[in-house]
Amino acid sequence: MRVAIVGATGAVGHELMKVLAESHKQGLLNITEVQLYASARSQGKTLNFAGQDLTVQTTPEGPIPADVVLASAGASISKALAHQWASDGAVVIDNSSAFRYDADVPLVVPEVNGEAALTHQGIIANPNCTTAIAVLAVAPIHRKYGVKRMIVSTYQATSGAGQKGMDELIEQTRVYLSGGEVSHHEFVHPIPFNVIPHIDVFQDNGYTKEEMKVAWETRKILGDDSLNISCTAVRIPTLRTHSEAITLELSTPAVPSEVRALLSTAAGVEVRDDPAQNLYPMPITASGKYDVEVGRIRQSLVFDGGIDLFVSGDQLLKGAALNAVQIAEYLQAQGALG
């Protein structure tokens, strides 16, 4: 398989190379060639892939000679060029928001709706990071008990704003601790020792676009437009793992022990739920981990037979790079590449 990465020099691009190398090492992807692309200012840089130095090329405006193109260069670039990248037979797995809401573009989390990837017409969309992390826990519950309403509060890491967001947290924390005046560029307010209930632009309904993405994308991935979802998205001063508090109203009542047992067998999920031992999902334990941690599973005090839970997942992995590579793995396993 020939694999190309567009946006190779960004935070997600670096994670894509690590995940690809591990996938190849484990025999999940048979990779024969890796091509790296980025903006013109990165042309000529070298990046290491599995012990080999590869040269970064300028992102092309025509077809990319690869079987799979993993794109993480931003929505405007993907919108303009992805169809051209795919025009010679490549499958573009796009990490931006450019195609997520197009009816003819599958939005895929392989553990949940992998079969949707097989319907692609050259482009497959990777979900928003917050959605991808949430649906791993919610999908098994929805299949068994039926989710009627879903209320989500997110605690999103600075990695959601890319490498510049993480750099700003580190740099401005140093400024704060040294008694200097904290500034902000990547976020609408200073991020050190703060939480900001504002991610993306506000919509006419008072919700931000980030919050609406969770609603729109969860419905599409689960194939259920009747699901009522409300989300409050909050930026917090952590580096790379998003956490979410989720409350579910169910069509069929459930008890925590049943849900705990159900999720313990769910693909991509690690149940971490023993409050007596102070064991629950946290960014410090979920960072760098492929599986999404799920815990604090308890009976809802609002919805009869409903469930509350807490989720932590690495935004750069399952929320981005890992999910994209897993889509490629699914396609290859199904004989749907080349």
CA 133 to the chain's CA centroid: 6
Q: Distance between CA 307 and CA 224 in Å, rounded? A: 19
Beta bridge partners of 312: 243, 293
Identify the active-site residue in 24, 129, 142, 231. 129
- Six token digits for residue 54: 């590869």
> In angstroms, rounded to a whole number, what is the distance separating the alpha carbons of residues 331 and 100?
19
Q: Is 61 left (phi over 0), alpha (psi -120 to 50) or beta?
A: alpha
Instruction: Quote the distance between the C-alpha of residue 193 and its chain's center.
Output: 25
CA–chain centroid gap for 134, Å, is 9
How far are the Cα atoms of 13, 57, 116, 210 from residue 91, in angstroms, in the given order?
17, 19, 14, 26
Instruction: Provide Rg for the chain, Cα atoms.
Output: 20
Tokens of 214: 């969770």
DSSP secondary structure letters along 167-184: HHHHHHHHHHHTT-----
| Catalytic residue list contains 83 | no
Task: Tell me the C-alpha to C-alpha distance, in Å, between residue 173 and each of 188, 222, 285.
Answer: 16, 39, 22
Two structure tokens written together for 297: 């599973």
**39-43 long-range contacts, Cβ below 8 Å, gap at least 24?**
39/9, 39/73, 42/8, 42/9
* Catalytic choice (14, 24, 142, 242): 242
231 is known as an active-site residue: no
Per-position b or e across 75-97, b if 16+ CB within 10 A of its CB: eebbeebbeebbeeebbbbbbbb
Catalogue the active-site residues. 129, 242
